[in-house]
Amino acid sequence: MLIKNLEQLFHKELDATYGKEEVSSFFFMCTEAFYNIKRLDLALDVNLSITKVEQQPIFDALADLKNEKPIQYILGETEFFGLVFKVNENTLIPRPETEELVSLVLQKIKQQKQKSKPNLILDIGTGSGCIAISLAKNIENAQVFALDVSAKAIEKAKENAILNAVKVEFVEADILLNPTQLFPVGKDISLKVTDKFDVIVSNPPYVRNLEKINMHNNVLNNEPHLALFVEDDNPLEFYKAITVFASKTLNPNGQLFLEINEYLGPETKTLIEKFGFKNVDIIKDLYGKNRMISAILI
Q: In this structure, is residue 81 part of a structural domain?
A: no
Q: Name the domain boundary from 15, 32, 67.
A: 67
Q: In this structure, is residue 76 part of a structural domain?
A: no
Q: Say whether both 240 and 108 belong to one domain.
A: yes
Distance CA 187, CA 199 (A): 21
Terminal Cα distance for the chain, rounded: 65
CB of 64 closer than 8 Å to CB of 89: no
Q: Say whether both 24 and 153 belong to one domain.
A: no
User: How many residues can be counted in the chain?
Assistant: 298
Confidence of residue 227 (pLDDT cuts 50, 70, 90): confident
Which CATH number fits the domain that encloses residue 113? 3.40.50.150
Closest CA to 177 of 123, 129, 131, 124: 124
Q: Say whether both 147 and 28 belong to one domain.
A: no
Q: Say whether both 243 and 152 belong to one domain.
A: yes
Cross-strand bridge partners of residue 290:
284
Tell me the pTM: 0.92
187 pLDDT above the threshold of 80: no
Q: Say whether both 177 and 207 belong to one domain.
A: yes
Q: In this structure, is residue 125 part of a structural domain?
A: yes
Average pLDDT, the chain: 92
CB of 124 closer than 8 Å to CB of 182: no
Q: What is the mean pLDDT of residues 68-75?
A: 96
Percentage, residues of the chain above pLDDT 70:
95
Q: Say whether both 24 and 133 belong to one domain.
A: no
Q: Which residue has the higher pLDDT, 186 or 230?
A: 230
**pLDDT value at position 116?**
53
Q: Say whether both 211 and 129 belong to one domain.
A: yes
**pLDDT value at position 114?**
56
Q: Say whether both 45 and 140 belong to one domain.
A: no
Helices (H), 190-236: 217-220
**pLDDT value at position 115?**
57
Q: Say whether both 278 and 173 belong to one domain.
A: yes
Q: pLDDT (tens digit, 9 = 90+) per residue, 109-161? A: 888 765 556 689 999 999 999 999 999 999 998 999 999 999 999 999 999 99
Q: pLDDT (tens digit, 9 = 90+) per residue, 44-68? A: 999 999 999 999 999 999 999 999 9
Q: In this structure, is residue 82 part of a structural domain?
A: no
Q: Name the domain boundary from 38, 67, 96.
A: 67
Q: In this structure, is residue 77 part of a structural domain?
A: no
Domain count, the chain: 2
CB of 216 closer than 8 Å to CB of 223: no
Closest CA to 156 of 223, 85, 99: 85
Q: Say whether both 176 and 99 belong to one domain.
A: yes
Contact residues for 180 (Cβ-Cβ < 8 A; gap 6+) = 244, 245, 248
Q: pLDDT (tens digit, 9 = 90+) per residue, 191-203? A: 777 789 999 999 9
Which range marks the domain in which residue 171 is found? 88-297
27 by Cβ neighbours in 10 Å (0-12 / 13-18 / 19+) ranks as buried
Distance CA 159, CA 23 (A): 29
Q: pLDDT (tens digit, 9 = 90+) per residue, 233-262? A: 999 999 999 999 999 999 999 999 999 999
Q: In this structure, is residue 78 part of a structural domain?
A: no
**pLDDT value at position 20?**
97
Cross-strand bridge partners of residue 284:
290
Q: Say whether both 155 and 285 belong to one domain.
A: yes
Q: In this structure, is residue 183 part of a structural domain?
A: yes
**pLDDT value at position 185?**
44
Q: pLDDT (tens digit, 9 = 90+) per residue, 14-43? A: 999 999 999 999 999 999 999 999 999 999
- CA 135 to chain CA centroid, nearest Å: 12
Q: Say whether both 94 and 56 belong to one domain.
A: no
3 pLDDT above the threshold of 80: yes
Eight-state DSSP code of residue 49: B
